[in-house]
Structure 1
Amino acid sequence: MKVLVAGLTPRDTGKTTLAASLVAQLIREGFTVAPSKPLGATDLWGSPRALAYTRSLHILATGDGYTLFKAAGERLPLEVVNPVGALLVPTPRSLYSSRTAYEMSLAQPHGRAALIRVTSCVSSSASVHMVNVDALSKTSKLVENEVQDIVAYLSPPPVQVDERVATGIFTGSASEAADSCILLEERSSDVVVIESNSDVAAPTPASAAPDLVVLVSPGEAYIVDGRRYRNAMEVLMLSGKPWVSKASELFDLTGSMSRVELPILEDPEEGYGPEVTEPIVDAIKSNAAAKSA
């Protein structure tokens, strides 16, 4: 069974906190659960702890991927939980001739993806690390040195690529590798909880066929029937790419089965308790019972 957690707004919805809390609650209730962040990117300026995660694991680790990996008790390797990951570096304003050019650079994450990892799970998990030399050339010397230090910890050692390759990964070329890891998780789990990125409807083709959907916005989450979501996606999807559609566009067509209020958490790492996750868990149980009937 696949549960998709997606955002109704582009940023700061709390998807990862809710997804991790849901994973933890399902495990407490006896389910075998696999979290998935098919494609994740962490901005190192805002989330520098990803550097420490990467050093300790010797594999590129994004912030969201690490959170989900820990929520599941490290049952599966981080690279299976987050098969496609990138670490973004800041681009100094001084490198751009105009404010418009600078703002455009901030809006295009593939241009700032200095380190990238793609993991395939076709037979066994196999990873490739990449250094985007174009992204490194657009950051400060201090940041570049920090990235080069991280490179020494990565296994396997990274290969050098340019922005064209990074752009391809962000626009879908790595989705087959990501989906191979989702399929691996499905074979070993009762429930796969998939976190989308930003506010896209679904990050990969395999994640575009959920049994249940949780759409998150600041302060609330909506539980949506997976079949209705899939049908709406088929209506709106362009060129067979679910990541082109926005979750909010689909929500206009699907409506919701129920709504859950989300409190402010002083420490998001503590996650939500059963009073928040239980309605979602109940919906998962009902869906599973209906499928087996």
Structure 2
Amino acid sequence: MKLLVAGGDPVDAGKTTFAVGLAARLRADGSRPTVFKPRAGNDRWFDHDDVRRAAGDGRLYGKDIDRLLRAAGGDATHERRNPIHRLWGPTPGETGLLGESDRTFLVDRVRTTDGDEWVVNGTTEIPDALRDDLPLVEARRVDSVRAFNEAMRELHLPALDRLAEDVRAAGGSGVALVESYGDVAMPLREVGFDAVAVVDPGRCRVYDGDRWALARETATGDRDEGTLEVHVDRVTGMLDPLSTRDLRPLTGEERDDPDVVASAYSAAYDELLAAAQDR
């Protein structure tokens, strides 16, 4: 079984909390879910404690994949299940290298077959603390969109394709649970999901996986280029959900306990799993 959790809002949709509760629910049902977050990112300013905690160990990962792995159990590394992580830095009033407003990417960590590769923004100053903590001496420097796109073709896309193989294998023998990033509708190529949960603040919509994939292909004209960045609202605009459930707001203490989340959102999980099992 392969399940996708996507966000209907690009920021703070609640999809990680929903996915964490789903992992706990699957474990309670006797499954050992394999969790994945293909891409993630955090900000050196807004997520400073998380960045320092990871960078202090010479690593780069965020709290989302950490929460998912803890909820699912097992001993997989953050880097294996989250092969691409981006660190942002604030640039008030300025546009970043990739066209971002008020921020720019500082460092990408990309998992390869030989370990981690690092891509650094050559147009901005990398803070000394990061240079001291992370292995950036031999990092790949990019100073233009063209150079970054070349790095993506050589590093990022192969990393995602390798992860897609892992998702297909995990879903074939058990349960693969994938959390997308931002409001991207399909985070991996050539992975068919059995059911999709779209999480917005206050609600969850459940979709059939095959119809979701077809709508995503329709939105892109079935072109490979750019299909990873189709936004959720383009897909949901073509489909009626199988079901819609309200999600109540949770306190910080409740969000920190996967079993409490699993209980609070049990009705939504029932409908998502029923949709996947009815295929």
State the TM bucket, normalised to the shorter chain.
0.7 to 0.9
Q: Which residue of 2 aligns with 1:42?
A: 42
In the alignment, the residues of structure 2 paired with residue 24 and residue 158 of structure 1 have an alpha-carbon distance, to the nearest angstrom, of 40
Per-residue CA deviation, residues 251-282 of structure 1 (Å, 9 max, x unaligned), is 11111111222222221333553344423443
Q: How many residues align?
A: 270
CA contact (8 A) 2:65 2:82 kept: yes
Runs of 5+ consecutive residues of structure 2 not aligned to the other structure: none
Per-residue CA deviation, residues 10-52 of structure 1 (Å, 9 max, x unaligned), is 2111111111221122112211211111111111211123324
| Shift in alpha-carbon separation, 1:183–1:277, aligned structure 2, 3 A | farther
Cα deviation, residue 107, structure 1: 5.8
CA contact (8 A) 1:3 1:210 kept: yes
Q: Which residue of 1 aligns with 2:179?
A: 195
In the alignment, the residues of structure 2 paired with residue 70 and residue 230 of structure 1 have an alpha-carbon distance, to the nearest angstrom, of 29
Where in structure 2 are the equivalents of 1:93-172 lying within 5 Å? 93=92, 99=93, 102=94, 108=100, 112-120=104-112, 126-136=115-125, 144-151=127-134, 159-163=139-143, 164=145, 165-167=147-149
Q: Which residue of 1 aligns with 2:235?
A: 250
Runs of 5+ consecutive residues of structure 1 not aligned to the other structure: 94-98, 138-143
Q: Which residue of 1 aligns with 2:245?
A: 260
In the alignment, the residues of structure 1 paired with residue 153 and residue 98 of structure 2 have an alpha-carbon distance, to the nearest angstrom, of 17
In the alignment, the residues of structure 1 paired with residue 74 and residue 118 of structure 2 have an alpha-carbon distance, to the nearest angstrom, of 21
In the alignment, the residues of structure 1 paired with residue 97 and residue 163 of structure 2 have an alpha-carbon distance, to the nearest angstrom, of 31
Bigger strand fraction:
2
In the alignment, the residues of structure 1 paired with residue 40 and residue 272 of structure 2 have an alpha-carbon distance, to the nearest angstrom, of 25
Normalising by structure 1, we get a TM-score of 0.79
Normalising by structure 2, we get a TM-score of 0.83
CA contact (8 A) 1:38 1:81 kept: yes
Q: 1:270 aligns with which of 247, 254, 257?
A: 257
Query: Secondary structure at the residue paired with 2:117?
Result: strand
In the alignment, the residues of structure 2 paired with residue 116 and residue 192 of structure 1 have an alpha-carbon distance, to the nearest angstrom, of 25
Bigger helix fraction:
1
Aligned-residue sequence identity (percent) comes to 24
CA contact (8 A) 2:20 2:68 kept: yes
**Mean alpha-carbon deviation: is it higher for 186-195 or for 25-34?**
186-195
Q: Which residue of 2 aligns with 1:64?
A: 64
CA RMSD of aligned residues (A): 3.0
